[in-house]
Chain A
Amino acid sequence: MEDTKIIELYWQRAGSAIDETEKKYGRMCRSLAENILNDPLDSEECVNDTYLNVWQSIPTQRPAHFAAFLAAITRRLSIDALRRRNAAKRGGGAFAVALEELAECLPSEESVEAQVEARELAEILDGFLDSLKETDRNMFVCRYWLCANISEIAQRLHVTESRVKSSLMRSRKRLGNLLSEVGYR
C-alpha cells in the first residue's frame, strides 16, 4: 500500500493503519532498533512504541517522508531505551561501536567551551551532509543514522567494505574539521 494511503488510514483512525505499517515498515523499524539496542525484546518494544507514537501523531501530522518519519521515531525511542538501560558505551552492539567511531571526530572535552543543543548541531550536520557526494552521504547516514553494519552497507551499495570504511573515515575527518572551524575545538 502506498504511504499516502497508510497515512490516510491513520487520519481515519482505522486500525488497519498499524497493520499496513507493520507489513510495509515493520522490518525496517525492527532492524533499526536492533542495531541500536542489540536486544530483540527491547527492539520489539520500541517498534510497538513507534506505532503508538505514530498513531498519536497522525493526525495532526501528515509526513511527506513516511519511512523517514517512522525511522526517526524508532531511532529516538531506541536511543531513549538505550539511555535507560545505561549501556551506552560498552556492550551495546553496533550503536556502541558507531558511537566510538564518531568520537574520533569530536574535539577533546577540555577544549569544548560550550555545549550545543542537538538542533543547532543538526543544522551544522545538515550543511555538512549537503557538502558530501551522494554516495558518501548515504554511507554516512546509513552508518550513523541507521546504525547499519559496514558489511551490510557495502553489500547494499555494491561496493567493497574497504571503500565504505575509507569513505566514512574521510567524512569523519571532514566533520571533525568543520566542528573545529565553527568553534568546537
Chain B
Amino acid sequence: MNSFLLMQALGEIAPEKVQKALESMGRTPQSAGKARPVRKLARTVLLAAVITALLGATAYAVGISVDRLRQEKLRQDLKIEENAVENYEEYALPEQEETAAPAAPKITVLSTYRDGDNQYIYVNISPVRKEQIREQAYGNGGFGADLDGVGHYTEIYFTREFTEDEHEPVHVTIEGKDEVHMHLKDEAIYEHWLENYDEQEQSLTLRVSVYLNSAAPENRPDLTRPLPLHIAYKSREEDSDLAMDYGTVEVKPAEEYCREIVFDTPPVFPGPEEGTAWEIRKIKLYPSQVLIYIWHDGIEALNLSAEERQALSPEELDRYEQARNQWFNLYDPVIGNSYVTFSDGTRCGIYGALTIPYVDGCQEFNTNWHEKTVNIAEAVSWTVGGQTVSFSPTAK
C-alpha cells in the first residue's frame, strides 16, 4: 500500500463528508466566482444538446431547417470532423420552406458513407406514431426498405445478421444500435428505438445498411447509378391492411475510405490442436469497421461450397461444423480483446466477430470499433494477443 492508494481510497468516502468540507471551505455555490468560458469539449456537448433541444417544435417556429439540424446532429454524433472521416457525404435537402411538422408521411435522406462491404445511409422518417415504434419493437409490424432494381423488401433488422451464403441486400438499423441483439427482451428493444425517436416531433432517424457484396449476384445493387430507396410501414396487429408509404428517395454510392495494412511478419497464435497455428495476414481499417484476414493450414477444407456441403452425410456434416467451430472459437478471445493505438497515445478496442465469411483464401473477421467512428489516418499500431504490430504511416 502507498499514499497514492490511500488518496484514491479517500475519493470513495461518503459524499456528505465531502459536501460539508466543501461548504466549510466556501466552495459551494454562494462563493462561486466568475464563470470562465466553456472550452472545446464542453462546447461540443453543448452544441449537440442545443441541436437536440432545437429539434423540437421551436425549430419550425424560428424558421430553422429541421433537416439541416438533423444533419448537424448526426455529424456531431458520428464524430465526423473529429475523426476526419473523408467519405462522409451529406445530401442536398429539399428547398421548400418548412413552417410546420409535415402532415403527410415523408422520408428525408440525410447522409451516407461507405465502410467495407456496407454503404450506410441515414434517413429520417416522419411523422411516426409511438405505437408504430412499439409494433416495430414487439415484432408485430414495422418499417421496411427496398432498393429499386433489387426487388427485395426486407423488414428492419436490429442486428446485421448474415447467414453465410445468403446476404440480404438491404438492412435498416437504428443508428449506432447494432449491438441490440434479438435476444434482448422486447422492452429493451423498444427503449432503444425510443432513443432515436422524437415523440414531440414524431420523427425517427434510421440507418439503412446496403450490403454491397451480396453473395447472390442477382441481389447486388448496381452502383453505377443512383439507387432509389423506398421505405414503408406495415402493421400486422392493428389492421392487416394498414400500410403506410413513406416514399422514395435517391441515394448515390459513396467512395470507399480505408487503410489496408499487410503484415510482413504476421502475428501467429496457437490452433486448436498441438502443432497447429493461425495467423493474421492483414487488417483493413475503416472509420466505423475493421476487417481482419485470418489464415491457417487447411482453411479451404473448412469452407466448402453449399453444393459440397449438401453432398456430405449427416455425420460428415457434423464433423465439418465441429471442426469449423473449433477454429472460429479461437478468434474472438484474441481479436475481441485487441486494440488499436493512435498517434496521440489514445486507444480504441474492437468487438468480437459480426461475421467471418471466407474471402480470398482467408476468413474475413468483420467487426466494429468500440467508438462509432475513429480517425484511421492516425492509427499507428495494433496490439493483439499480447503482440503489437506497427503500421506504416503511409499505408492507406
Residues in A lying within 8 Å of B, measured CB to CB: 13-15, 17-19, 22-28, 30-32, 44-45, 48-49, 51-52, 55, 63-65, 67-69, 71-72, 75-76, 79, 88, 95, 98-100, 102-103, 106-107, 109, 112, 115-116, 118-119, 121-122, 125-126, 129, 134, 137-138, 141-142, 144-146, 148, 152-153, 156-157, 184
Q: Which residue of B lies closest to A23 (CB)?
A: B35
Given A48, A63, A115, A142, which contacts B38 in the complex, CB threshold below 8 Å?
A: A48
A interface majority secondary structure:
helix
Tell me which of B3-11, B62-70, B210-218, B318-326 binds A. Answer: B3-11
B9 contacts A13, CB within 8 Å? no
Cβ–Cβ < 8 Å partners of A19 in chain B: 38, 46
| Minimum distance in angstroms from B333 CB to a CB of chain A | 27
Q: How far is the CA of A138 from the CA of B38 in the complex (A)?
A: 30
Q: Within B33-57, which residues are at the interface with A (CB < 8 Å)? A: 33-36, 38-42, 45-50, 52-53
**A/B interface sample: 9 pairs, CB < 8 A:** A15-B45, A15-B48, A24-B29, A27-B32, A49-B41, A72-B11, A103-B3, A112-B1, A125-B9
Q: Which residue of B lies closest to A55 (CB)?
A: B45
Q: How far is the CA of A143 from the CA of B10 in the complex (A)?
A: 11
Cβ–Cβ < 8 Å partners of A13 in chain B: 49, 52-53
Q: Which residue of B lies closest to A135 (CB)?
A: B24
The total of interchain contacts (Cβ-Cβ below 8 angstroms) comes to: 181
A102 contacts B1, CB within 8 Å? no
User: 5 tightest A-B contacts by CB?
Assistant: A122-B12, A15-B49, A121-B9, A68-B15, A141-B21
Q: How far is the CA of A25 from the CA of B33 in the complex (A)?
A: 9
Q: Is B396 an interface residue (CB 8 A)?
A: no
B32 contacts A88, CB within 8 Å? no
A67 contacts B5, CB within 8 Å? no
Q: Is B184 an interface residue (CB 8 A)?
A: no
Cβ–Cβ < 8 Å partners of B48 in chain A: 15
B45 contacts A51, CB within 8 Å? yes
Cβ–Cβ < 8 Å partners of B16 in chain A: 65, 68
Q: Which residue of B lies closest to A51 (CB)?
A: B42
Q: Is B99 an interface residue (CB 8 A)?
A: no
- Contacts A15-B46, A27-B33, A129-B17; is A156 near B26 (CB within 8 Å)? yes
Cβ–Cβ < 8 Å partners of B35 in chain A: 22-23, 26-27
